[in-house]
Structure 1
Amino acid sequence: QFLAPDEMKHILHKFEQAGNTRLMLCERGSSFGYNNLVVDMLGLPILKRFGYPVLFDVTHALQQPGALGHGAGGRREQVTGLAKAGMSQGLAGLFLEAHPDPDKARCDGPCALRL
């Protein structure tokens, strides 16, 4: 959450030096002030240039850390729009939190989708 997309090349290089080339990258949003994560769509093509599949953790990107005082808040009403924006960039896939009753989920409920 604190690393520019282009800096991922250094992390990938370490894995490659160790012989691991079965890698995927995942965009999850970046810290933007307090209680807020944002996704910079300009970073997705940069990540794709490294030649590995790029996934997008949409529901994590909509998290609002500490917003509820006792835990993270979220903006689940924005999942569909952000997912469409991500997939318009030709990503390999999405990661989405889901729960039968998101408001009762023990983790990430405020940004989870109903099953």
Structure 2
Amino acid sequence: MVFLKRPGGQTQFSTLLAGQIAQKTPIRAAQDFVADNLAADLTVAALAKRVGMSERNFSRQFKQEVGMTPADYVESMRLEAGRRLSEDTSIPLKKIAIDIGFSDDVAFRRSFARRFGTSPAAYRRSFGS
């Protein structure tokens, strides 16, 4: 069972629930690729090339369809995966950072703290299983 909204006033963390799924096929294809390939090159240039669009047009349509820039979407997806892995596994945080596409654990920690207001280690201590 998955709650569409967390009970008890808990923050809604899920990017998939919070974000829109695009209606246009190329943008949806890019979203699917991001979700399945977090450690890949997910720059605007790489995603635009993958779906056969110019970078400018891809960025504009992505923001229009999804409500955030491609870079923000990629970071959100990576952080959501990192949050889940921190919570559900005992994989070392440095390995999680690399596996989800961050250049290193410092970049992961900074992004995680900015998004969730705590470090991955503190999050794991509070919510880990």
Q: Provide the TM-score with structure 1 as the length reference.
A: 0.33
Query: Which structure has greater helix proportion?
Result: 2
Q: Provide the TM-score with structure 2 as the length reference.
A: 0.31
Query: Which structure has greater strand proportion?
Result: 1
